[in-house]
Amino acid sequence: MPEGPEIRRAADALAAAMVGQPLRMIWFAYAELKSYEKALQGRRIEAITPQGKALLTRFDNGLTLYTHNQLYGVWRVAKAGQRPTTSRVLRVALETAEQAILLYSASDISIWPTERVHEHPFLQRIGPDVLDETLDEVGVAARLVDRRFARRQLGALLLDQTFLAGLGNYLRVEILWQAQLLPTRRPVDLSDTERHALTHALLDLPRRSYQTRGRRGAGHLQDTPFKFRAYEREGRPCPRCKTVLQKSTVASRPFYFCPDCQR
């Protein structure tokens, strides 16, 4: 499943193709959404934004389309009237005169009044989006000592969207490598220095991944671009101490770590 940085980059691409242009064609696969096709005709998309691993497409008539790709969903940008060759099943098509955005294979799709979309059960359940610019280290540190999270092992906690939304397996691996912590550690047992390092990594790595992963000279973080230091690098030397990196399974997901400098 894509993680927060990939979902935000996808949202950026969808927004660049569609925001501000009148919709010429709207199509939904599900019968319960068909009535909205006419209601959205000629309307404009105001914004396409992620919350955790969900996308919110806000229209200028007070409606918002909620979608979650889950394991198999994927958005595509195409020319108006074109449909890519694929074995995936089309669920949503939104077109302007020039462009189309197409959602394939997703099943978690609904339309809400914009002022009530926060009531969606998934959005009520998740924690702050790790890429939300209003979230700072003070807020993250407070969640680490919150009694809901403080006694949980980090390996499972960092995959729990109720803690911080948008984290996934590769970010979990890289955050714990950067903070020099093993996944069996708990926030309650960390020293002040360790907690500070973890708090910093929880914001730094997702944001650096969003800004720079796969790009050259991207943004203000170009001097420290994101790249994997431990994820899927078992058998290679740790970039920090040169110990051979190892692979294990943590919370039913593959985990990569340095047995020497992660403590």
| pLDDT score at 12 | 96
**Is it the case that residue 221 has pLDDT exceeding 60?**
no
Find the mean pLDDT for residues 41-64: 96
What percent of the chain shows pLDDT beyond 90? 90
Least Cα distance to 55 among 91, 103, 105 occurs for: 103
| pLDDT score at 1 | 67
| pLDDT score at 78 | 97
| pLDDT score at 149 | 98
- Band (pLDDT 50/70/90 cuts) for residue 9 is very high
Find the mean pLDDT for residues 154-164: 97
**Is it the case that residue 110 has pLDDT exceeding 90?**
yes
DSSP secondary structure letter of residue 85? -
53: annotated active-site residue: yes
Q: Which of 44, 88, 240, 253 is catalytic?
A: 253
| pLDDT score at 216 | 53
- Burial (0-12, 13-18, 19+ Cβ within 10 Å), 25: middle
Q: Which of 53, 58, 91, 207 is catalytic?
A: 53
pTM value > 0.95: no
Contact 98, 80 (CB under 8 A): yes
50: annotated active-site residue: no
Find the mean pLDDT for residues 214-227: 59
> Residue 156's CB: how many other CB atoms inside 10 A?
16
Contact 91, 109 (CB under 8 A): yes
| pLDDT score at 156 | 98
| pLDDT score at 71 | 77
**Is it the case that residue 219 has pLDDT exceeding 50?**
no
| pLDDT score at 220 | 46
Q: Which of 2, 128, 239, 259 is catalytic?
A: 2
253: annotated active-site residue: yes
| pLDDT score at 214 | 58
Express the helix, strand and coil content of the chain in percent, nearest 5 each: 30, 25, 45
**Is it the case that residue 112 has pLDDT exceeding 50?**
yes
Distance CA 245, CA 165 (A): 27
Find the mean pLDDT for residues 115-132: 95
Distance CA 58, CA 67 (A): 11
Q: Which of 3, 6, 95, 174 is catalytic?
A: 3
Question: Which domains are present in the chain?
Answer: 4-125 (3.20.190.10), 137-228 (1.10.8.50)
Distance CA 46, CA 101 (A): 14
| pLDDT score at 55 | 95
**Is it the case that residue 168 has pLDDT exceeding 60?**
yes
The residue type of 229 is R
**Is it the case that residue 263 has pLDDT exceeding 80?**
yes
Element (H, E) at 11: helix 4-18
84: annotated active-site residue: no
- Band (pLDDT 50/70/90 cuts) for residue 92 is very high
